[in-house]
A and B are shown apart, each in its own frame.
Chain A
Amino acid sequence: MSGRPLTIEKPWQRWLIRLGVFLAMAILCVPGVWVVLTAFRPNVEILARPPVWIPQDPTLNNFLGIFGLLPAQQQGLPVARYFLNSVVISLTSTAVAILLGMMGGYAFARYRFRGKGALFVSFMLSRTVPGVALSLPLFIVWSRIGLLDTSLGLIIVYLAINIPFTVWLTDGFFRQIPVDLSEAAQIDGCTRWQAFWKIEFPLARSGLASAAIFAFLTSWNEYALASQLTRTTASKTMPVGLMDFTAQFTVDWSGMSAMAVLIIIPALLLTFVVQKHLIAGLTFGGVK
Chain B
Amino acid sequence: MTLFRSPRAVPYLLLTPALVVIAAVILVPLAVSLWSSFTAYNLTRPATLYSFVGLRNYARLLNNADFWWAFGRTLVFITVTLNLELVLGLGLALLVNQVTMGRKVLRTIMMFPMMFSPILVGFQFKYIFNDAVGLVNNALFDLGLITQPIPWLVDGTLAPLSIMAAEIWMSTSVFAILLLAGLLALPKEPIEAAKVDGCGPIQVFRHITLPFLMPFIFIAMTIRSLDVARAYDMVRIMTNGGPAGRTELLWTLMARVGYQNSQMGMANAMGYVSILTSILFTVYFYRKLVVARRYMGGVE
User: Which residues from chain A sit less than 8 Å from chain B, CB to CB?
Assistant: 1-8, 17-18, 20-21, 24-25, 27-32, 34-35, 38, 46-47, 50-51, 100-101, 103-104, 106-108, 110-111, 113, 116, 119, 123-141, 156-157, 159-161, 163-164, 167, 217, 220-224, 227-228, 239, 242-243, 246, 251, 253, 256-257, 260, 263-264, 267-268, 271-272, 275, 278-279, 282-283, 286-288
Contacts and interface: CB of A to CB of B under 8 A. Distances in A.
B259 A129 contact: no
Given A119-B15, A127-B226, A130-B275, A34 B251 contact: no
A28 B178 contact: no
Given A100-B17, A140-B49, A134 B26 contact: yes
B115 A271 contact: yes
13 contacts: A29-B112, A100-B21, A103-B17, A113-B12, A128-B282, A132-B254, A139-B259, A221-B119, A222-B117, A228-B255, A239-B233, A283-B216, A283-B219
A1 B97 contact: yes
B181 interface: yes
A137 B41 CA distance: 11
B14 A287 contact: no
A28 B109 contact: yes
B14 A103 contact: yes
A220 B279 CA distance: 25
Give chain B's interface secondary structure class.
helix
B271 A31 contact: no
A110 B185 CA distance: 28
Nearest to A106: B14
Given A104-B14, A128-B278, A278-B111, A31 B125 contact: yes
A-B residue pairs, 3 tightest by C-beta: A130-B229, A221-B117, A160-B25
B264 A136 contact: yes
Given A133-B251, A282-B219, A28 B232 contact: no
B32 A140 contact: yes
B106 interface: yes
B33 A104 contact: no
Nearest to B32: A137
Interface string B1-43: 0000000101110110110011011101110110010000100
A6 B98 CA distance: 8
B81 interface: no
B95 A17 contact: yes
Contacts of B106: 21, 25
B15 A104 contact: yes
B174 to A, nearest CB: 8
B268 A136 contact: yes
Interface stretch (B51-59, B63-71, B134-142): B134-142
A117 to B, nearest CB: 10
Contacts of A263: 117, 120
Given A133-B251, A137-B33, A18 B115 contact: no
A264 B25 CA distance: 28
Given A29-B109, A287-B216, A38 B120 contact: no
A108 to B, nearest CB: 8
A116 B11 CA distance: 10
B32 A2 contact: no
Contacts of B107: 275, 279
A132 B251 contact: yes
Contacts of B17: 100, 103
A283 B179 CA distance: 10
Contacts of B219: 282-283, 286-287
A17 B130 CA distance: 32
B11 A113 contact: yes
A102 B114 CA distance: 25
A221 B150 CA distance: 31
